[in-house]
C-alpha cells in the first residue's frame, strides 16, 4: 500500500473504512480496495431494511452486536447505512468537514456487516498499525490483551475488521469497552492529527 494519504489524493477507487493507527495514537482513515472487493455491499438504505434482508440467524447475531455498540457509543455518533453496511459515524452537524475521501459522508468510526462467509465488525479506532513501520496504539494493545484474557475464541482480526461466525466467538464486553474508550471528540482529534501529519 502506498503512502497516498500524505498527499491528500486518493487513488481512483471508492472510499473505504479503515483507520490506521499511528505511533502517536492517531487515526488515518482510508478504505483499501481489498476490503471493498471482499465485502458484500447491501443496497438497503435503512438499518431496519438491512436487518430485514438477513437470514434469521445472521439477523439475531448482527442485532446482538448492534445492541452492544449502541449501548457503548458516544452520543455524538449516529447509526445509519454507509458503504452498504450498518455504519456508526460522526455526522456533519458535529464534524461539518465529513470524511476526507468522501466529504458527503459523515466521518466513519465503526461498521457492522454480514459478509458471504462470516460477519464482521469494523473498528476504525482499533486499526492494528503493525505494518509499514507503524506501531500499535495503546488502545490496540489493550484490546488484544483484554480479548486474550476473556477466554473467548482466538481473535480473528484484520487491520480493523473483527470476523466472526457466531456471537459466542466475540468478547462482547471487550468490544463494548473499546467503543466506549473512543468518544467522538477524541476520535475527531486523532483523525485531524493524523491528517495534519499526512
Residue 170 lies inside a defined structural domain of this protein: yes
Give the DSSP H/E element, type plus range, for residue 103: none
pLDDT of 195: 80
Give the range of the structural domain holding residue 89, as residue numbers without chain letter.
13-197
Which residues share a beta bridge with 28? 20
Output the pTM of the full model.
0.77
Domain total of the chain: 1
**Average pLDDT of every residue of the chain:** 79
Say how far apart CA 164 and CA 156 lie, in whole Å: 7
Residue 6 lies inside a defined structural domain of this protein: no
pLDDT of 39: 54
Cβ(110)–Cβ(87) under 8 Å? yes
Residue 4 lies inside a defined structural domain of this protein: no
Residue 169 lies inside a defined structural domain of this protein: yes
Give burial (CB, 10 Å; 0-12/13-18/19+) of 131: exposed
Helices (H) and strands (E) in the chain, counts: 6, 7
Residue 130 lies inside a defined structural domain of this protein: yes
Virtual torsion, Cα 25, 26, 30, 31, nearest 10 deg: 30
Residue 69 lies inside a defined structural domain of this protein: yes
Assign residue 115 the CATH number of its domain.
3.90.1150.200
pLDDT of 44: 87
Cβ(96)–Cβ(102) under 8 Å? no
Q: Which residues of the chain have pLDDT under 70?
A: 1-40, 127-136, 198
Amino acid at each position: 500500500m502506498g503512502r497516498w494519504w500524505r498527499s491528500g489524493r486518493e487513488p481512483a477507487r471508492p472510499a473505504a473504512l479503515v483507520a490506521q493507527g499511528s505511533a502517536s495514537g492517531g487515526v488515518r482513515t482510508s478504505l483499501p480496495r481489498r476490503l471493498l472487493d471482499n465485502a458484500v455491499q447491501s443496497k438497503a438504505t435503512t438499518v431496519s431494511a438491512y436487518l430485514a434482508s438477513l437470514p434469521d440467524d445472521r439477523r439475531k447475531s448482527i442485532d446482538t452486536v448492534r445492541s452492544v455498540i449502541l449501548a457503548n457509543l458516544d452520543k455524538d455518533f449516529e447509526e445509519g447505512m454507509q458503504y452498504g453496511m450498518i455504519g456508526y459515524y460522526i455526522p456533519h452537524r458535529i464534524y461539518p468537514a465529513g470524511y476526507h475521501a468522501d466529504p458527503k459522508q459523515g466521518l466513519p468510526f465503526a461498521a457492522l456487516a454480514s459478509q458471504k462467509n462470516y460477519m464482521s465488525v469494523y473498528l476504525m479506532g482499533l486499526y492494528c498499525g503493525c505494518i509499514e513501520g507503524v506501531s500499535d496504539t495503546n488502545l490496540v494493545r489493550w484490546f488484544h490483551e483484554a480479548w486474550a484474557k476473556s477466554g473467548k475464541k482466538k481473535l480473528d482480526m484484520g487491520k480493523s475488521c473483527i470476523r466472526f461466525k457466531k456471537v459466542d466467538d466475540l468478547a462482547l464486553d471487550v468490544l463494548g469497552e473499546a467503543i466506549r474508550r473512543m468518544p467522538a471528540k477524541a476520535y475527531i482529534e486523532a483523525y485531524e492529527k493524523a491528517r495534519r501529519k499526512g
